[in-house]
Amino acid sequence: MLYYALVFFVIAIIAALLGFGGIAAGAAGIAKLLALIFIVLAVVSLAFELLRGRR
């Protein structure tokens, strides 16, 4: 999922450089959403691993 966030980030940068404002904003929004989901899943996974290791 982090891979897709980075891909959309690169698409947003390229679109912004070429002057496609709407496409850049859309790709940046998708990249932010995917990065947020990745961070939440990583924190949840880490919490479960820590809890499981203490048993």
- Asked whether the beta carbons of 5 and 29 are under 8 A apart, the reply is no
Per-residue confidence (pLDDT) for residue 55, from 0 to 100: 63
Q: What per-residue string of b and e applies to 15-53 under the rule 16 or more CB within 10 Å gives b?
A: beeeeeeeebeebbebbeebbeeeeeeeeeeeeeeeeee
Q: State pLDDT tens for residues 10-43.
A: 888 888 888 888 888 888 899 899 989 999 999 9
Q: What residue spans define the domains of the chain?
A: 2-53
**Model confidence band, residue 44 (pLDDT cutoffs 50, 70, 90):** very high
pTM reported for the whole predicted model: 0.70
- Contact by Cβ (8 Å): 28, 12: yes
Q: 19: phi > 0 → left, psi -120 to 50 → alpha, else beta; which?
A: left
